[in-house]
């Protein structure tokens, strides 16, 4: 009898612990994980907007099926898959006064391989060249 009780207690304890572990993951955490995977597999249309926080001007904007790496606090790395199976990487430098926003703008009937980049022309100063003889 004591062997059966010990086995029963062990089984009930194991079920209780595994039940607590399974309920520890909220629906929001699962949804966030699934959305991150879909984005990294180029299945979600996103818009990235880079903003100068001092002037409140939009410096850069990119829309498409993008994978975004934010592991570095100094740069934002955006990878795009092209129609021929190749990839392009865009790197945006970040600073104390430059920030970004990523929005999910998934639409139906959007080509997997199209993306759009917009620059704010006010943010680019024309270069002047001087000839020094």
Instruction: Please write the tens of the pLDDT for every residue from 57-81.
Output: 888 888 888 899 988 888 999 998 8
Whether pTM > 0.75 for this model: the answer is no
Q: Which one has a higher pLDDT value, 113 or 81?
A: 81
- The total domain count for the chain is 1
Q: Residue 38's domain spans which residues? A: 2-123
In a domain, 44, yes or no: yes
101, 117, 100: which is closest to 61 by C-alpha? Answer: 117
Does residue 36 fall inside a structural domain?
A: yes
Q: What is the tens place of the pLDDT at every residue in 32-58? A: 888 888 888 888 888 899 988 888 888
**DSSP structure class, residue 94:** -
- Which of 67, 73, 66 minimizes the C-alpha distance to 99? 73
Which is it for the CA torsion 119, 124, 126, 127, positive or negative?
Answer: negative
- The number of beta carbons lying within 10 Å of the beta carbon of residue 94 is 15
- For residue 64, being part of any structural domain is answered with yes
> Read out DSSP for 30-66?
HHHHHHHHHHHTT-SEEEEEEEETTTTEEEEEEEEEE
């Amino acid at each position: 009898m004591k062997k059966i009780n010990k086995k029963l207690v062990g089984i009930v304890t194991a079920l209780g612990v595994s039940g607590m572990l399974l309920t520890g993951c909220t629906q929001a955490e699962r949804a966030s994980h699934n959305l991150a995977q879909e984005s990294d597999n180029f299945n979600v249309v996103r818009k990235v907007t880079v903003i100068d926080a001092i002037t409140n001007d939009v410096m850069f904007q990119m829309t498409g099926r993008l994978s975004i790496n934010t592991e570095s606090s100094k740069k934002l790395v955006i990878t795009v898959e092209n129609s021929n199976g190749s990839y392009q990487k865009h790197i945006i430098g970040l600073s104390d006064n430059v920030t970004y926003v990523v929005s999910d703008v998934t639409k139906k009937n959007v080509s997997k391989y199209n993306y759009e980049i917009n620059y704010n022309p006010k943010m680019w100063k024309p270069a002047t060249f001087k000839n020094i003889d």
